[in-house]
Each structure stands twice: as structure tokens, then as C-alpha cells.
Amino acid sequence: MANYSGAVKTVKGGYHFRITLVKIFVYIVCIFLTIIAIAPFIIMLFNASKDRLEIQKANLNWAPEITNKTIASLLPSKSFIANGKYLLTSKALGLPFGRGFLNSFIIAAGATILSVYFSALTAYGFTVYRFKLNKLLYGFIMLIQMVPTQVTVISFVEMMYKWNLTNNYIPFIVPAIAAPGTVFFLRQYMASALSLEMVEAGRIDGSSEFGIFNRLVLPILKPGMATMAIFAMVTNWNNYLLPSILLDDLDMSTIPVLVGKLNGNKYSTEYGAVYWGLSLTAVPLIVFYLALSKYIIAGVALGGVKE
């Protein structure tokens, strides 16, 4: 960067110098934001390997001068396995995280499969058939995307109590059939990816209407459905409010519900165990995210250009 300082004298050089300054500033901001985005997770992982005293003592190391002790208090330590054992198996503190992963997976996978398949079915119905209420009903789907879902939470819970569906997977999986946002996305996707001539050709070959959809159309929609599946998976995995009311049996609880319990009184001094539990739930998601980040970022960009 130093070579540029000599060029300030000429007009063109001044311009380049200014751009370089802006560039440096941009990179400083970006690196700062990168640290803010990542640091909480690093601290979480490192603290998961410390015992209670080590975390407590880190307290005193914010002194202005950096000593060996400061550095040692930032790095991981050796209580990782002990903390894990404590959280998973101890009678007083143990939470069934293994079972929680299974529950979360069943709910998220079930809801994802239903929402993606039936959304494709619905979008196909609107795209291919010209029935009387087509426009009106599609307009209705656009409108209900805006309805705040939490408004109906209490009545939904009351209904589930009446139907005796507490501590059950059904309230989290079956309603996923009606996913207005996914229908909207797949309808847009079909407009560009699906040719109606192909549907016509399928009919001439004598396929049934469902046969055409399942065998000819679904394979074409795969990329769009995969994008929606990733987001459905994450949303359903992270869902908290409804499970926190309807799943009061620990063995039926999902990961967010179990993590919420780490906020309770009996964990108030078990710092290491709390960080360990948080890491346990964060790491699989981070791995999932990094593996699919290309598709996720592209999906976010697509989702925004809805207008």
C-alpha cells in the first residue's frame, strides 16, 4: 500500500489513493464483522472444555496487560470429556440429548418431506390446471403468508390437548402439509422449469394425472425442492415455542426444548456443562451449514426477490 502514497500528487493517483483507503476501510469492517460472527462460537467451544473454576477465574484476566495467564484462560482446557459426561449421564443434571436428536430429526425430516411434496403438488395444481377458483385461491395463499403464525398458537395447543396429542410427533409433522411460502416458491420455479408440452405428452402416453406428476414432473423440480427442503429442515429443527408447550416429557423433547432447559436454576453454576450442551447443539448445524452453504446463500438470494 505504501507505493500509493507517492502517487498522491497527480490527480489520477489521488483517485486511486482514495479508492485504496476505502478498500482498507471496507476490509477492516468485514474482518471485524467476521470476528463478531465467529467469536461467540469459538468461546463456546473453548469453554466447553474448561471446568467451573477455570471459567470463573477467566474473570480476573481482563487486566490491561496481557500475561501468560490471560492467554491460558482463553485457550481450551482438559475437562471436555468430564463436562460431557456430566451433562449426559449425571442424575442431577442429565438431559437426554441423544433422544433429543432423534426426536428433532424425526420431526424435522417428517415435516420437510410432507411440506415439500405437498407444496409441489399444490403448486402443480395451480400451474397446470385452469379451474374456476385458480386465481382466487392462489391469491389466498399469497395473503396467508403474511398472517403472523403465533396468533393461533394458544388455540392450536388447546385443540391438541383436546385431541390428546401432547407428547406426540403429529402436531409438528402433519400441519407442514400447508406451507404457503414453499408453494409460492415452487410455483415461481415451475413457471420457468416446467414445460406444459411435457404434461401433454404424458397424457398422450396414457399416464394418469398423478402418474405424470410423480414420474415426469417431480424429477424436474428436484433442484427447487432441494432448496426448499434445506430451509424447511432448518426451520422445523429450530422450532421452539410450540414444542416447549406441547412436549413436556423429557424423552419426547426436541433439541431447542432441551437447550432451553440449560437456562434453568440447576445449571446456574455448571458453566462448563452449559457450554458443552450448547456446543453439542450448535456443531451439527454449523457442519450442515458449511456443507450446504452454496445452496443456502443462493436460496436466501432467491427468496428475497419475490416481488
CA 255 to chain centre: 13
Nearer to another protein (CB atom), residue 8 or residue 291: 291
> Residue 233 phi/psi, 5° resolution?
-60, -50
Find where cell 398458537 sits: 153
Quote the least distance from Cβ 82 to another protein, whole Å.
Answer: 18
Question: Is 150 a binder of another protein (CB under 8 A)?
Answer: yes
Of the candidates 227, 18, 143, the one whose C-alpha atom is nearest the C-alpha of residue 4 is 18
Contact 254, 173 (CB under 8 A): no
Question: Is 96 a binder of another protein (CB under 8 A)?
Answer: no
Question: Is 225 a binder of another protein (CB under 8 A)?
Answer: no
Question: Is 108 a binder of another protein (CB under 8 A)?
Answer: no
Quote the least distance from Cβ 85 to another protein, whole Å.
Answer: 20
Q: How far apart are CA 103 and CA 126, in angstroms?
A: 34
Structure-block grid coordinates of residue 250:
423429557
Q: Which of 7, 113, 121, 165 binds another protein (CB under 8 A)?
A: 121
In the window 27-86, what residues touch another protein (CB under 8 A)?
27, 30, 33-34, 36-38, 40, 43-44, 47, 55-56, 58-63
Q: How far apart are CA 199 and CA 212, in angstroms?
A: 7
Question: Is 271 a binder of another protein (CB under 8 A)?
Answer: yes
- Contacts with another protein by CB under 8 A: the residue count is 106
In the window 244-263, what residues touch another protein (CB under 8 A)?
245, 255-257, 259-260, 262-263
Quote the least distance from Cβ 135 to another protein, whole Å.
Answer: 9
Residues contacting residue 261 through CB under 8 Å, at least 6 positions apart: 95, 267
Question: Is 91 a binder of another protein (CB under 8 A)?
Answer: no
